Chain A
Amino acid sequence: GAVVSQHPSRVICKSGTSVKIECRSLDFQATTMFWYRQFPKQSLMLMATSNEGSKATYEQGVEKDKFLINHASLTLSTLTVTSAHPEDSSFYICSARWGGSPLHFGNGTRLTVT
């Protein structure tokens, strides 16, 4: 069964609004979660590393003020896309690992900004 749960699976919002995406680790505690973005026919690109109890680490070129990440507990990380624009439309996926396991991914969120 799924070990990483992501919600919502699909969201449509108007330009200028904010959207929050939740990522939960099921049955394990994740001190670190990773947020990826995938554009059509492209690879998954790491956006940021979410650290429980501290600030997220963003990859080069990712605007931290636009993509707010909060890792409030050991089982929950949230990504908020602020003031969304059509170019933010993408597939956002979170992932986590426990111990030495490979990364496990959520089912992703398809964001469409109109």
Chain B
Amino acid sequence: DQQVKQNSPSLSVQEGRISILNCDYTNSMFDYFLWYKKYPAEGPTFLISISSIKDKNEDGRFTVFLNKSAKHLSLHIVPSQPGDSAVYFCAASGGEYGNKLVFGAGTILRVKS
């Protein structure tokens, strides 16, 4: 049973436009959410996080939105750059998982120049 779902396996965006990556979760006890970026043959790199007490967190071109009632979060990248092309993983922790991270399956983002 996947508790963190990224329903879009891939996304293609034009350089300069906005990239929106979505993530849904089923466990209402999750209270901390993270986005990681992964390049081929490398480990995931932390990008941005959000606590359940917030509904938005912004860091430069990256903004994460959290909708607790819908159990949905999204990552916005504006403006998108070719170097943003990677696999993006959504992850959650909390509840019975404590500090352990539960990952989604990832979304491949391709930014076209």
Contact A46 B43 (CB under 8 A): no
Known contacts A41-B105, A43-B4, A103 near B43 by CB under 8 Å = no
User: B49-92 toward A: CB 8 Å interface, digit per residue (1/0)?
Assistant: 10000000000000000000000000000000000000001000
Known contacts A43-B89, A43-B106, A44-B89, A103 near B41 by CB under 8 Å = no
- Which residues of A in the span 35-51 have a Cβ within 8 Å of any Cβ on B? 36, 41-46, 49
A23 to chain B, nearest CB (A): 10
A102 to chain B, nearest CB (A): 4
B101 to chain A, nearest CB (A): 6
Q: Is residue A9 contacting chain B, with contact meaning CB distance below 8 A?
A: yes
How many interface residues does chain A have, given as a range?
20 to 34
Q: Is residue B17 contacting chain A, with contact meaning CB distance below 8 A?
A: no
Tell me which of B2, B36, B43, B100 has the highest count of chain A C-beta atoms within 10 A of its own C-beta.
B43
Q: Is residue B94 contacting chain A, with contact meaning CB distance below 8 A?
A: no
Residues in chain B near residue A107, CB distance under 8 A: 41-43
Contact B100 A49 (CB under 8 A): yes
Select one of B2, B41, B101, B104 contacting A46, CB under 8 A: B101
Residues in chain A near residue B104, CB distance under 8 A: 43
Residues in chain A near residue B14, CB distance under 8 A: none
Q: Is residue B45 contacting chain A, with contact meaning CB distance below 8 A?
A: yes
Q: Is residue A4 contacting chain B, with contact meaning CB distance below 8 A?
A: yes
Which 10 pairs between the two chains have the least Cβ-Cβ distance? A105-B43, A43-B103, A43-B105, A44-B103, A102-B46, A107-B43, A108-B43, A105-B44, A107-B42, A106-B43
Contact B100 A44 (CB under 8 A): no
- Which residues of A in the span 79-106 have a Cβ within 8 Å of any Cβ on B? 93, 95, 97, 102-106
Q: Is residue B34 contacting chain A, with contact meaning CB distance below 8 A?
A: yes
Contact B105 A42 (CB under 8 A): yes
Contact A104 B46 (CB under 8 A): yes
Residues in chain B near residue A9, CB distance under 8 A: 41
Q: Is residue A110 contacting chain B, with contact meaning CB distance below 8 A?
A: yes
